[in-house]
Structure formats: C-alpha cells, structure tokens
Amino acid sequence: MQSLRVVCYLNQFFGQIGGEDKAGVGPRVFPGAVGAARAVQQALGDAGSVVATVVCGDNHIAEHPETALVKLLDLVAAEAPDLLVAGPAFLAGRYGVACAALCAAAQALLGVPAVTGMHAENPAVGLYRRRVYIVPTGADAARMLDEARRLVALGLKLARREPIGAPAAEGYFPRGITRNTVADANAAQRATAMLLDKLAGRRVASEVPLPDFPRIPAPPAVQDLRHATIALVTDGGLVPKGNPDGIEALAATRYGAYGIEGQRGLDPGQYDNVHRGYDTTFVKQDPHRLVPVDVAREMEREGAIGKLHETVYSTTGVATTLAHSERMGREIAAQLRAARVDAVILTST
C-alpha cells in the first residue's frame, strides 16, 4: 500500500519551542516529525511518513484565529498531505480548540482528511465533535504513544477513504450522525435474543439509550394550608384569546403568566387553547376543566386555603424538549418563590 503523506499539528509545548512563555509564537513549519509528532511517526510505521510538523502558539491562535488559521492552512496545503493529525491536546483547552478548528478548516477548505484527540472534558469536544473526528484520550501525555496509535488508526482509515463505523467501535466522540443499517435478523428476533441474554444474566446493551431522569427530592409537605398561598400552573395549553405571548402549539419554548386578580373564574370567552396533543374542545368550553380557578377561589373564600395566587402560568406540554421544560420550570419556580407561593397545583394532560 502506498505510504501516506502526513502532516502533524502541535502547539508550542509539544513542538518543543517552549512553555507558556512561548504561547504567543505564530505559525511555522518544520520538516519531518518534531517533538510529539515523533510518536505519530512511530505509530504510523511503514503506513505513512510525517513529512512536516506545523506548530503555532496556543495564545497566538486563540487571539488571532482567522489570520492564524489561514497561515496554517497554507503551510499544510504546501505539503500536499493525505492526512492531518492534530494534537493530541488532552485537557488543554486552547490547544484542543486550535487542533479541532484546524482539522475542521483543513477538511472543509483543503479536502484533507483530519483527526485529532483530546480528553472528554476538553471544551473543544462540545464545540467541534459534530464536525471533526475527535479520539478520546487521557488527561495528560503519560501514555503518548498509545494515544498516538489510536489517533493514527482512525486517521489511516480516513486517509484511505474507508467507511468509518460507529463511534464506540472506532473510538471517537459521537458526531450526532444517525445511519440506518439493515440488521441480519428482524426486530422480533433481535428483541427475543436480547431478552434471553438478559434472563441468562449476560451483558445487554440497549440499542436506544434511555434518558436518565435525576431524582428530585420531594419538598416538605405544606404544614399550614389555611395560611398557604397556592398557585395554579398548567401545561395544557391555556392562553388568553389571541395568544398574546405566541406560545407554541408544539415544542414550546415559551410560557405565559396570566393575571386572575379579582376574577372568580375563567370566562371561556376570554381564553383559548393552543395545545395540539389532545382534543381541546372540552377545556375550551370550560377552562376550569383544566385550571380550577373557580374551585380554588371558593376554597380561598371558605378559608380552606390562605390565598389563591394571582397569576396562572401556562405553556404547552407536547413534544416539549426536556431542556426547555426544565428551564421553564425553573423560571416559573423562581417567580413563584419571589411571590412567596407555598405550593403549586399543576394540571397536565
């Protein structure tokens, strides 16, 4: 097989120019494998040759990203490489971002396959994993050669334009790509096999990772209901006629705060419902079927509860993302807290 031309990218430290004191040095190139690029050469063996090592100071590229990248791309392009290997950057944030940014640019602008590596907690992973193949590494260079081997293994496949398998199999951070494949058994057979494995105590991996819901400690019970302020909240899509806050019918990102001061109930003529997940005919006829203001007011008058809070909060709970749901919940809770509300009755459908 043809020996591949590989260019390595390193920062000032791994390129043996200096430490933090040299983090401001600009882009430069050295022939062959310099510094940590030697581990990449060792990992490549006969499969390829590190023809040049491109180096830049972490501060320089962080402070002048556009100009530094342009210059670095020129240096890389001049070598006509089959593969760019950047880093590994371990936990170094500026270095990780530089590696990933250069890989992304080399792929997009030069059409050069690229691979980098860093620790899962490097901020560059979150920023770039969808665009760049990033191999997970340890936190530091303790096992540089091992890390280089894993980068090179994936890099060679990329350079040879071989099909790249799933993240777990090939060893890179998931890129958010879903690929349909045809399995060799049908779903009933696969499910039965999984069940038999489970019953036999064999390791079973779910094909679909299930969301993990953190345990929410239950707030202590209301001690004195007769003096408590109770608020009503709903995700059933109640809105004032005209939906002034533009609450979405699906995948809501907004909620509304609607005053009921002085109102004994909810007048159906003043309200509407935008929820698309259930038949809203009945709650439109009588909004109390969703938000029990009438009953709560009576209980307030009777003294069964101290006070009905003057604001009803409402959003649409269909296909609402967990992230937005949690955010809206926190925001509403903060407002209720500030208003010294003691407890909430939330009607969901």
Partner 1 sequence: MTPVAVMVGANRIVSAAGIIHPLGNADLSAEDEKALRRRIVERALMALQTEVVRPTVFSADNPASAARGDQPPAP
In the complex, the smallest distance separating the C-beta of residue 216 from partner 1, rounded to whole angstroms, is 5
The token pair at 273 is 């419902």
Give least dist CB 232 to partner 1, A.
10
CA atoms within a 13 Å half-sphere pointing along the CA-CB vector of 122: 31
Question: Cα separation of 43 and 149, whole Å?
Answer: 5
CB of 195 to partner 1, least distance (A): 21
Tell me which residues touch partner 1 (CB under 8 A): 213-216, 218-223, 225, 230, 236, 278-283, 285-286, 288-292, 294-296, 298-299, 304-305, 343, 345, 347-349
Report d(CA 147, CA 172) in Å as an integer: 12
Between 185 and 345, CB nearer to partner 1: 345
> Can you read off the two tokens belonging to residue 21?
């004191």
Q: Which two tokens stand for residue 298?
A: 């009576």
Instruction: Output DSSP code: residue 76.
Output: H
- Nearest distance in Å: CB 214, partner 1: 7
Give whichever of 190 and 301 is closer to partner 1, judged by the CB atom.
301
**CB closer to partner 1, 202 vs 215:** 215
Nearer to partner 1, 74 or 286 (CB): 286
Q: Nearest approach, Cβ of 344 to partner 1 (angstroms)?
A: 9
- In the complex with partner 1, the residue whose CB is nearer, 46 or 279, is 279
Structure tokens of 202? 């064999």
**Cα dist from 78 to 2, 5, 61, 320, whole Å:** 20, 12, 20, 50
What is the bridge-based pairing of β-strands 133-136 and 114-118? parallel
> What phi and psi, each to the nearest 5 degrees, are found at residue 142?
-55, -35
Beta bridge partners, 118, equal 136
Rank residues 184 and 213 by Cβ distance to partner 1 and give the closer one.
Answer: 213
CB contact at 8 A, 63 and 26: no
Residue 289 CB, nearest approach to partner 1 (Å): 3
